[in-house]
Structure 1
Amino acid sequence: MIRSADTLFARLFSGALVAILLAHLLAIIWFAMYGFPGAPPPPPPGATSAQEHGPGAAGERPAPHTPPPKRSLFGGPVVPLFFQMITLVIAAWYGAKALSRPIQRLSEAAERLSENLDSPPVEICGPLEARQAAQTFNLMQARIREQVQQRGRMLAAVSHDLRTPLSRLKLRVEQIDEPKLHAQMSQDLNDMIGMLDATLTYLNEQRNSEDLQLFDLHALIESLTENAQDNGDDVQCTGACSPLKIQPMAVRSCINNLIDNALRYAGHARVDIQDLNDHVLIAVSDSGPGIAVEHYEAVFEPFFRLEGSRNRNSGGVGMGMTIARDAARRMGGDLTLGETPGGGLTVILKLPRL
């Protein structure tokens, strides 16, 4: 019985019951002090004897009828009804708050979980149903985190162990005398090794999540463009932004991948920075062959490569865009694609101001 009294139903029922009893008690006290509405006024002195002997007794004439005095607003039923309404409104507010608070906490926790599996668990408090829901949610979060980590460890182990036989195969391929077969097998092995390296990089970034810190994003982008220019690449940067909270290594990897893609498929890249009120936009554009609109989402799938311009000879393994979008979403942002005016591809990185 003690545990059953600590439920949401018991709290709401007891609160509503107390409110109703209190409202009726206030009304009874009020009417006891000021009388009930519509009650006849007390008879004047001498009226009783006159009524007993009749209208003609002792030569007395009946007293003239006087209308009852008007009741003031303060002594009428409006005030107790007003207090009743206030009491019931307070009870309704308390009930709605008690119902919505646990749901709001779970909603906020689910939103944090969608952004970061390592988010803090839900606080276990409130009535019995809310505590049970919080415990179940925390258990679900722990299981999801363990499954993701286990999957990452398994894939990392498989990717790492595959490097050994691939390295042996690469040594044996060197013994092939036929040039065409040697080149084809070497290309296939290099592609497989590149895919394994990209997978390991992706898994490492998933496991090692940075803390958000206030950082000068403009200086970071200028540093990346200057490094590319020092290597002889055609990369230009325009715009500026004030510092914001980001994961510096994740943003560096993301923008680096976008610039490398533009250089790989177009030979040049342009980085535009727009500083808005609640977010910052970084657009990396080129005038290369671009991507068809129907493939805008497909290119974010791991190891997805388009035919034609994005083939094995370009050097990519299809993980750069996946890594870049995952890095953006870990910070609460996103990565979208668009068409460059005049032809080409524009990749827009959106980072929120937290």
Structure 2
Amino acid sequence: NQIRPILRLARAAEEFGKGREVEFSPRGAREVRQAGAAFLEMKRRVERAIEQRTTMLNGVSHDLRTIITRFKLSLALMQDTPEAAEMKKDVDEMEHMLEAYLAFARGDAGETAAPTDVAAVLEDLRTDSARRGLTAEASFSGRRQVTLRSAAFKRCLANLVGNAQRYGKRIELSGENDGRTLTIHIDDDGPGIPPERREDAFRPFYRLDESRNQDEGHSGLGLAIARDIARSHGGDIRLDASPLGGLRATVTLPV
């Protein structure tokens, strides 16, 4: 029966596409084993490329952070003048943008998927929004535990919620796990994004108008990073009009 080895290969490819650890050894007829061996070779190449990219970025980030630290130390020794204050502001913004660029380039490489309490993540984000003075609600239905890259997943939602916090006064977070798909809606009552520009908003370094830029540091990477993380889990993010009158960001991930 060659159906079982083919199904095992399909499941391994699906799990790998979701960013999860895969244990697989080719079995079955010669053609099926060849396909399995090709999958394992592809998997090794992808993992090797990610490892090389991560190593390079770690070296680059160390060198750039060292230079920024020197700038900050030099500015700390200067007298407090309006010019020095402006320079400090520029260096802080440079540091913020550098971290955003490196986070986008690095992705969520190196993190292992683990069971994550999605409802607790939403509640933490609701608490943070309320602490900032916004009206915030959170709800969740279905199984709370989902296997995800936890830190990356939280960063994805934090980017989306942070965007809503900056442009709205009311935020609603809702999630549902129906056993096949995890769906999360993030709604706000801010100015929103015109339909024809919603897909453009995900492009790295793309600037929306000043009424709704992607992130406070103006790196243009907030939504791009969020979508990159969602897609690395085999899912995606969509932007629509919110029932609250602003923007709705919908995250869908296979479970």
Structure 1 unpaired stretches of 5+: 1-96
1:330 & 1:178 partners in 2: Cα distance? 46
Where 1:305 maps in the other structure, the secondary structure is coil
Structure 2 unpaired stretches of 5+: none
Judged with a 3 Å threshold, the aligned counterparts in structure 2 of structure 1 residues 144 and 280 are, in CA distance, closer, same or farther, namely closer
2:130 matched residue in structure 1: 229
How many residues in Structure 1 have an aligned counterpart in Structure 2?
253
1:157-236 alignment, distance < 5 Å: 157-172=59-74, 175=78, 179=82, 182=84, 185-202=87-104, 206-213=108-115, 215-236=116-137
Judged with a 3 Å threshold, the aligned counterparts in structure 2 of structure 1 residues 230 and 117 are, in CA distance, closer, same or farther, namely closer
Contact 1:258 1:324 in 2 (8 A): yes
Q: Of residues 14, 35, 40 in structure 2, which corresponds to 1:111?
A: 14
Q: Does 1:281 align with 2:211?
A: no
Contact 1:246 1:331 in 2 (8 A): no
1:117-132 alignment, distance < 5 Å: 118-121=21-24, 123-132=25-34
Q: Does 1:317 align with 2:219?
A: yes
Contact 1:218 1:241 in 2 (8 A): no
Identity of aligned residues (%): 35
What is the CA distance between 1:345 and its match in structure 2? 1.0
Query: Which structure has the highest strand share of the two?
Result: 2
1:146 & 1:277 partners in 2: Cα distance? 33
2:251 & 2:12 partners in 1: Cα distance? 26
Question: TM-score, normalized by length of structure 2?
Answer: 0.78
Q: Does 1:254 align with 2:156?
A: yes
Judged with a 3 Å threshold, the aligned counterparts in structure 2 of structure 1 residues 170 and 268 are, in CA distance, closer, same or farther, namely farther
Deviations 1:317-342 (Å, cap 9, x if unpaired)?
33332333333334443321111246
1:349 matched residue in structure 2: 251
1:51-200 alignment, distance < 5 Å: 106-116=9-19, 118-121=21-24, 123-172=25-74, 175=78, 179=82, 182=84, 185-200=87-102
Judged with a 3 Å threshold, the aligned counterparts in structure 2 of structure 1 residues 322 and 120 are, in CA distance, closer, same or farther, namely farther
1:339 matched residue in structure 2: 241
